[in-house]
Structure 1
């Protein structure tokens, strides 16, 4: 039996350009699966019920709140991208790599998966324990690609706080899921179909 030699094991920083498309998608789906599992475990230890968390809302007002927040976020984001230099908003090219050559249906699928997984953990799990402010700080911190610049970090924090607020106001997890989905999908379509 061969013994594993830890002295030969080396970690190195990998840039987004060194990862092929298949590995990028594997990483994306794997991190979302881990996020969902942690969220469900968190909810379980809070003695919550994930089935109740995903129960159907009483009316359709959650759609209006989700779409309204998404529209506000997109307007602010477009204004920032128009008046702020590109290097200040740089995420290292991750979003371009994820969305630029993706089929429209895959953009919708990715956006839905990310919205459900992240909102389950952050709004459904963490926010119930520490509230929307500290949840938003953690949410901004895990989006590490934005931490090099304060404007995108501030935007991610603000978006997260907005998602937390509409979750508490509407009392359904589907509201932040709808908002998160619309934000990601529309920004994905903008990246995919924009002209240089």
Structure 2
């Protein structure tokens, strides 16, 4: 029997066109699962109860804050996309590949999974440790596909900071989860139903 040697592992850069749809979805769901697990472990290291983090608040004010932030972000994003050349906001075609040919229900599911997993880690765990500013820098850096252009990088940072502010103001993780979910879902629908020129 051959012994496993870690030095034999090789990594190579893969172009987005080399990944089929199935592998893209596996990658997306697995990275979100890893994000969620890291968030839960981080919460446990902070001696915080994840169940309390996800408890529904007694007031429904978080719905207004989440919806309001989502409407604001979508409006700003659509305004920017109207006046800024498309190549400035280019993410390498990742969002098109994820949302373009996806059924409506799957866009909603993807958006919900992404919102819950990312908000658990970033707002629930990391922001509690280092605050909204540094959390937003990490959040923008994690979205590496936008780093080639300053406008989408600044937009991701601003959205993250706004999500953090809403979390602090409402005291519930459900407000940023709701906002993140609506933003991703609506932008996914825009990509899905956009007319080709």
With the shorter chain as reference, the TM-score category is over 0.9
Structure 2 Cα separation of the partners of residues 6 and 128 of structure 1: 36
SS of alignment partner, residue 153 of structure 1:
helix
Which residue number corresponds to residue 97 of structure 1? 97
Which residue number corresponds to residue 124 of structure 2? 124
Instruction: Give the alignment of 1:32-181 within 5 angstroms.
Output: 32-181=32-181
Offset at residue 9 of structure 1 (A)? 3.9
How many equivalent pairs are there?
196
Offset at residue 141 of structure 1 (A)? 0.4
SS of alignment partner, residue 56 of structure 2:
coil
Structure 2 Cα separation of the partners of residues 140 and 158 of structure 1: 9
Offset at residue 4 of structure 1 (A)? 4.3
Structure 1 Cα separation of the partners of residues 6 and 183 of structure 2: 43
Structure 2 Cα separation of the partners of residues 44 and 37 of structure 1: 11
Structure 1 Cα separation of the partners of residues 170 and 21 of structure 2: 38
Query: For residues 145-183 of structure 1, what are the alpha-carbon distances to aligned partners after superposition, in whole Å with 9 as ceiling and x for unaligned?
Result: 001111100000000000000000000000000000000
Which shifted more, 154-163 or 12-21?
A: 12-21
Supply the RMSD in Å over aligned alpha carbons: 1.1
Structure 2 Cα separation of the partners of residues 169 and 38 of structure 1: 25
Structure 1 Cα separation of the partners of residues 107 and 7 of structure 2: 41
Offset at residue 44 of structure 1 (A)? 0.5
Q: Which segments of 5 or more consecutive residues in structure 2 lack a partner in the other structure?
A: none
TM-score (ref. length: structure 1):
0.97
Query: For residues 1-23 of structure 1, what are the alpha-carbon distances to aligned partners after superposition, in whole Å with 9 as ceiling and x for unaligned?
Result: 12446665432211111100000
Q: Which segments of 5 or more consecutive residues in structure 1 lack a partner in the other structure?
A: none
